């Protein structure tokens, strides 16, 4: 029972009505952080999810007096809602029949909810690929400068969790918030005002979620909508024409090219040079110099499942790029290596130009081992690539086939260009399965 409600910021008070029903859609980390923040602020909470709620969610809901609804979404889940907060992966269009009675300020993202309760300067990073690496690099650069940094958003800790921990005195205030933001979040966010906004790239992705490519592009470009002239926009040079033709950015624009100003052995490839340069330019606004940046890079380790070279067995390097869920990320992975590649690809295809990779496949790849779903899509796109192509139902079986042909100096590369949900719960589980079976292969002879 609450004895005193916190005073709300003026720009947030219109959304949070003490005692009114607030519906949180999705019971993952972001949804639960939003629910706990709403509860702390005095709003009634209802957790809804299209699947089955976990026992831990049910237990917390019972303890705190929250409502719960699960199963396929329907009008009863949103009855009497004054506010609906969407978790990052929730498709708003699929909920639209039950949200029509609500105004635009009543259906928001978890990120939008949190923004009402933070006032720290923000560096926000988006793009089809490279977001997590660049966001993590920015955090490392700022920490090397002695700044207190919160790194989260679409990765790690949701911003609602940070906002709640700050208001309950469980967390020290950060000097700077470094946020990875996805197109899903940006679609339902209007209050984001980054001091520095970073747009890495745009290529077809999540077309199973977005209405079309134009909606996806507009969501990404909305990153700059809240910026003012004193802010900075860091943009890939490849997007100059797209950006300048689609909107007028009020902030100072810095177009970035992949240069070799800074080096990091843990981050191979031209695309990572772009990520490093984008992170460096983002932190220059806070006083970073090249010497401090290079010192931070010297101790930087590859992130799990992102072009992570984790082992070399019998002269064959194993590289886990399970986070590479798009065609563009596969292209970047292929371009990163000069050694012959044994490529593992397949899963739930999200869209993109696979056929456009044929020249790179011919140049770089000795054998493609497809696995899981989307076999027909890959085979149709790549049959004329003059590269041996095989398919197996499981990742492990595909690895067995490639290992039989492996030679010293080869790279066995898992860069699937797909989501993982045909065979695995998420990309992390897929990557760990790859790493586990690599150890099994190490004990076998190969061709």
Residues making up the binding site for ATP: 127-133
* Rounded Cα distance, 391 and 313, in Å: 23
Q: What is the 3-state secondary structure (H, E, C) of the chain?
A: CCCCCCCCCHHHHCCCCCCCEEEEECCCHHHHHHHHHHHHCCCEEEEEECCCCCHHHHHHHHHHCCEEEECCCCHHHCCCCCEEEECCCCCHHHHHHHHCCCCHHHEEEHHHHHHCCCCCCEEEEECCCCHHHHHHHHHHHHHHCCCCEEEEECCCECHHHHHHHHHCCCCCCCCEEEEECCHHHHHCCCCCCCCEEEECCCCCCCCCCCCCHHHHHHHHHHHHCCCCCCCEEEEEHHHHHHHHHHCCCCCEEEEECCCCCCCCCCCCCHHHHHHHHHHHHHHHCCCCCHHHHHHHHHCCCCCCCCCEEEEEECCEEEEECCCCCCHHHHHHHHHCCCCCEEEEECCECCCCCCHHHHHHHHHHEEEEEEECCCHHHHHHHHCCCCCCEEEECCHHHHHHHHHCCCCCCCEEEECCCCECCCCCCCHHHHHHHHHHHHHHHHCCCCC
* Rounded Cα distance, 253 and 232, in Å: 6
Residue positions in the annotated binding site? 127-133
* Rounded Cα distance, 445 and 447, in Å: 7
**DSSP bridge partners of 348:** 419
């Amino acid at each position: 029972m609450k004895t005193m409600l916190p005073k709300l910021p003026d720009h947030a008070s219109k959304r949070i009505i003490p005692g009114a029903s607030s519906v949180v859609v999705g019971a993952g980390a972001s949804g639960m952080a939003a629910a706990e923040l709403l509860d702390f602020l005095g709003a009634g909470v209802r957790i809804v999810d299209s699947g089955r709620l976990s026992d831990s969610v049910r237990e917390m809901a019972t303890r705190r007096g929250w409502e719960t609804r699960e199963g396929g979404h329907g009008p009863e889940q949103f009855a009497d809602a004054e506010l609906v907060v969407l978790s990052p992966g929730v498709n708003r269009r699929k909920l639209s029949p039950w949200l029509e009675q609500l105004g635009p300020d009543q259906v928001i993202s978890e990120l939008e909810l949190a923004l009402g309760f933070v006032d720290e300067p923000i560096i926000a990073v988006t793009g089809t690929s490279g977001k997590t690496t660049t966001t993590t690099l920015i955090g490392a650069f700022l920490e090397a400068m002695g700044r207190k940094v919160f790194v989260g958003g679409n990765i790690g800790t949701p911003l609602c969790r940070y906002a709640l921990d700050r208001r309950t005195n469980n967390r020290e205030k950060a000097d700077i918030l470094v946020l990875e933001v996805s197109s899903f979040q940006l679609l339902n966010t209007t209050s984001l005002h980054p001091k520095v906004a970073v747009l890495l790239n745009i290529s077809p992705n999540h077309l199973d979620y977005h209405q079309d490519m134009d909606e996806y592009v507009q969501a990404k470009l909305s990153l700059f909508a809240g910026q003012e002239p004193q802010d900075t926009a860091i943009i890939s040079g490849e997007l100059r024409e797209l950006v300048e033709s689609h909107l007028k950015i009020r902030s100072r624009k810095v177009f970035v090219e992949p240069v070799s100003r800074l080096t990091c052995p843990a981050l191979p490839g031209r695309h990572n040079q772009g990520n490093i340069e984008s992170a460096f330019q983002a932190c220059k606004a806070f006083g970073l110099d090249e010497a401090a940046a290079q010192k931070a890079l010297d101790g930087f380790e590859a992130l799990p499942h992102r072009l992570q070279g984790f082992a070399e067995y019998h002269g064959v390097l194993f590289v886990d790029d399970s986070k590479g869920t798009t065609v563009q990320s596969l292209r970047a992975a292929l371009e990163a290596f000069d050694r012959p590649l044994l490529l593992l690809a397949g899963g739930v295809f999200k869209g993109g130009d696979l056929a456009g990779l044929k020249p790179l496949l011919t140049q770089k790849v000795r054998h493609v081992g497809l696995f899981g779903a989307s076999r027909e899509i890959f085979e149709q796109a790549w049959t004329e690539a003059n590269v041996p192509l095989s398919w197996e139902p499981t990742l492990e079986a595909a690895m067995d086939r490639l290992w039989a042909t492996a030679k010293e100096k080869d790279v066995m590369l898992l860069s699937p260009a797909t989501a993982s949900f045909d065979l695995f719960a998420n990309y992390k589980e897929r990557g760990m399965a790859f790493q586990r079976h690599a150890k099994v292969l190490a004990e076998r002879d190969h061709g």
